[in-house]
Amino acid sequence: MSFRIRAITLDLDDTLWPFAPIGERIERAIDDWLHTHSPRTAQRFPIPAMRALRDRVHAEHPHLAHDYSRLRRMTLEQALSESGEDATLAEAAYEAFQAARNDIDYYPDSLAALHRIAARVPVAAVTNGNADLARIGIAGHFRFTLCSREHGSGKPDASIFLAACQRLGHAPGDVLHVGDHDEIDVLGAARAGLRSCWLNRADDRGQRRAWPHAGLRPDLEFDTLTALADWLDANHQSSPRSAAA
C-alpha cells in the first residue's frame, strides 16, 4: 500500500527491543540489591514472591494502571515495610530497577532503521512503559516521548494518540503509528484516526503471527523496522523531512 505520512509515533518495548530479557534483568537486579542492602527483604521476597507482590499491588491499584513507575515504587515500599525494613530504602532500590530497565539489547535492525526513519519524518515515542530514552542514549532520534504516566492514560485509549498528533502538529490521518501489539498499538491507533503499522516480528522459531481480528486491519505490516524504513524511502523520495510544529 502506498500513501504519504508526515510523522510517525513509535512504540518502544517489543518494537525496538524485546522486553522479556529486560524483565528478567530487572528481577535479578532488584534481588541482588536487596541481598546487599536489605537482606531481610531479600529473604522474605525472593524473585517469585516479589513477582507475586508486584501483581498484588497492580490488582489493588487499578487506577494506577497507566503508571508503572509508581506501581514499581509502591511494590518496593511494600516489600520493605512487610519485612520490617525502612521503606525509604525504596528510592535507592528503584534506582537499581532503573539501571536494569534501561539496559537495552536492541533487535538487530532497530538502530540503523530508526536512524533512517528519523531522517525522513519526525518521530515521537508513544509508550505505556517507562524506558528513559535519554538514559538509553537514543533520545536524539525522537522529537519527544509521550508516556502513559505523563498523559494520565495509556494505549489503546485514543487520547494519548491524539495528544501525540497535536504535539507533532499533524492531523491524525497524516501520522503513522508503529507497534508490535495488535490491540494496544494497531487497533488503538486506527480507532483514533491514525494510520497504523503492525510490526509483526518472527518468533524464535521463525514464525509470524496471523492477524487475529476480523474487519479492521493495519495499513501496513512488516516483520522488521528495516522494511518500514525501505517503505518510507520508496514513498517519500521527493518529500523533505517534515518540520516540527
Number of Cβ within 10 Å of residue 94's Cβ equals: 19
What does the DSSP 8-state code read for residue 140? G
Is residue 25 within 8 A of residue 103, CB to CB? The reply is yes
The DSSP symbol for 12 reads -
Q: What separation in angstroms does the CA of 87 have from each of 59, 80, 245?
A: 21, 5, 44
Structural domains of the chain sorted by starting position, each given as residue range(s) with its CATH number in brackets: 7-17+105-235 (3.40.50.1000), 20-101 (1.20.120.1600)
Q: Are 175 and 8 in contact (CB under 8 A)?
A: yes
pLDDT recorded at residue 205: 85
The pLDDT value given to residue 206: 85
Q: In Å, what is the CA distance from 194 to each residue of 27, 42, 130, 163, 189?
A: 36, 46, 23, 12, 5
pLDDT tens string, the chain, 245 residues long: the values are 678 899 999 999 999 999 999 999 999 999 999 999 999 999 999 999 999 999 999 999 999 999 999 999 999 999 999 999 998 999 999 999 999 999 999 999 999 999 999 999 999 999 999 999 999 999 999 999 999 999 999 999 999 999 999 999 999 999 999 999 999 999 999 999 999 999 999 888 888 999 999 889 999 999 999 999 999 999 875 444 443 33
pLDDT at 62: 95
Q: CA dist 211 to 19, 59, 200, 208, 222, Å? A: 21, 30, 9, 9, 12
pLDDT score at 215: 85
- pLDDT for position 89: 95
Contact 83, 45 (CB under 8 A): yes
The pLDDT, as a whole number, for residue 242 is: 40
What's the pLDDT at 74? 96
pLDDT value of residue 220: 97
**Cα–Cα distances in angstroms (integers) from residue 132 to residues 1, 90, 127, 138, in the given order:** 33, 19, 11, 9
Beta strands in 50-201 (DSSP E): 123-127, 144-147, 175-179, 195-199
pLDDT for 20 equals 95
* Amino acid 237: pLDDT: 59
- Three-state DSSP state, 172: helix
Sequence-distant (≥ 6) Cβ neighbours of residue 74 within 8 angstroms: 57, 61, 64
